[in-house]
Structure 1
Amino acid sequence: MRFDILTIFPDMFSPLNQSIVGKAQEKGIVEIHTHDFRDFASNKQRHVDDVPYGGGQGMLLMPQPIFDTMDQFPHEGARVLLMDPAGRKFDQKMAEELANEEQVVFICGHYEGYDERIKTLVTDEVSLGDFVLTGGEVAANVMIDAVSRLIPGVLGKQASYEDDSFSSGLLEYPQYTRPDDFRGMKVPEVLTSGHHENIRQWRLRESLKKTLVRRPDLLDQYEANEEEVKILDELRHSCNEPHDVIE
């Protein structure tokens, strides 16, 4: 998979050369190319922004440097993402969509916004959430990391991400490692029992309980099976009992 990033701060993507994404690049599974669109500014000062027509606060990213940069590399059929707080909110579902693409292009802007004509290059406007960042670089880093780990061969096993929070539609169950007793805090006995079915049931219940308590909104979209419906009914009943809460 190939990622192309249009930015005026290419050094902000150095973290992607580390850890799992860095190893994926070494293996040739992932390619990451940064393009400094300031290099394609048509003015001597290398400005890539200008004041908006009609007046207003701040500066807007000009179309010319972006269009000329896009002309420098192949991107036919690519998903072209514009980092914009007004865009579709990025989530695990979108990460899974993008992991099936062959090429994803990120346009990272700064200043107050973009010339509207830039959006003719774009397939998706994307936001990390309801807050404003100083530029699109941080958001693009996060998205590339989230997408890359879903690409076959990047993680050691597919199961490494299948149980992650949001991959199944639920939050992940609690996990423990050695020692089984640390400063009086003990690992649940079921996890050391070796009984695989009991462990599966415990993990499912804990995952559902965690989701119900912390992110009940996720259950609105989740298609629970018969076993899960029964567990959720029990959890909701226990939560409604006097002096009894889910912990």
Structure 2
Amino acid sequence: MKIDILTLFPEMFPGVFGSSILKHAQEKELVTINVVDFREFADNKHNKVDDYPYGGGAGMVLRPQPIFDAVEEITSQTEKKPRIVLLCPQGETYSQQKAEELAKEEHLIFLCGHYEGYDERIREHLVTDELSIGDYVLTGGEVGAMVLTDSIVRLLPGVLGNAESAVTDSFSTGLLEHPHYTRPADFRGLKVPDVLLSGHHVNIENWRAKEALRRTWQRRPDLLRERTLTEQEKAWLHQFEEDIKKDL
């Protein structure tokens, strides 16, 4: 995969992209990440990329010319048009399902905005997706681009040491992930559930499925409204509700 990130602040990225999983993925040549300062594409001697909005108002708006020219240069040698993602508070809320969708692409371009916003022609005639990492406003799109890059790259084949890790992550199954335990089995009197020490793989998988459902029911019940429940899951949910009644 190739990821190009258009930004006015390329110095923000080396720490994140030069560490941990993202660093290893690049070293193994599973992904190429290219950070582009689109100020270099401005067509004026002061490299000015923003201007006052027509009609007045607060703030400055990013001009279309530098961004269009940067994207055209990046894509000039590619046959297939990449997904061009605008990081924007007005965009679709980002999700694990969107990360899995984007991880199937060969080439992604992320546009990091700043100032008051983008010239609308960028939205209408250049980008393929508008994404937001949450219902709040950041200074720019750089942090969002880091979030998308991390969440997508870890899904690429060969990036994680254990391929099953991404499959069982929270949200990948439609549920939050089940609890985890490690050594020691007894820490200050706090014990690991017996089933996890039993070596009985079927019972362990059933326990994990049940606890993933319980955690989702407790913390993110909205996720269950969109889920087609199995008969076993319905029975577990009924049990959770009965347990609550007993404790009242």
- List runs of 5+ in structure 2 lacking aligned partners: none
CA distance in 1, matches of 2:91, 2:82: 18
189-198 vs 122-131, greater mean Cα deviation: 189-198
What is residue 107 of structure 1 aligned with on the other side?
Answer: 111
What is residue 90 of structure 2 aligned with on the other side?
Answer: 86
What is residue 5 of structure 2 aligned with on the other side?
Answer: 5
Q: Aligned residues: percent identity?
A: 55
What is residue 19 of structure 1 aligned with on the other side?
Answer: 20
What is residue 172 of structure 1 aligned with on the other side?
Answer: 177
What is residue 95 of structure 1 aligned with on the other side?
Answer: 99
Shift of 1:81: 0.3
| 1:162 counterpart (159, 167, 177) | 167
CA distance in 2, matches of 1:12, 1:223: 42
Shift of 1:163: 1.0
Shift of 1:242: 4.7
4-13 vs 89-98, greater mean Cα deviation: 4-13
Q: Over residues 127-149 of structure 1, what are the superposed CA-to-partner deviations in whole Å (9 max), with x where a residue is unaligned?
A: 00100000000000011100111
- List runs of 5+ in structure 1 lacking aligned partners: none
Q: How many residues align?
A: 243
Shift of 1:47: 1.3
Residue identity matched to 2:2: R
Aligned-CA RMSD value: 1.2
Taking structure 2 as the reference length, what is the TM-score of the superposition?
0.94
Shift of 1:226: 2.2
3-state SS, counterpart of residue 71 of structure 1: helix
Q: Over residues 105-162 of structure 1, what are the superposed CA-to-partner deviations in whole Å (9 max), with x where a residue is unaligned?
A: 0000100101001111100010001000000000000111001111111112321111
CA distance in 1, matches of 2:128, 2:241: 42
3-state SS, counterpart of residue 70 of structure 2: helix
Alignment of 1:1-247 (within 5 A): 1-14=1-14, 15-74=16-75, 76-119=80-123, 120-239=125-244, 241-244=245-248
CA distance in 2, matches of 1:37, 1:213: 45
Taking structure 1 as the reference length, what is the TM-score of the superposition?
0.95
CA distance in 2, matches of 1:152, 1:243: 46
CA distance in 2, matches of 1:229, 1:99: 32
Residue identity matched to 2:232: E
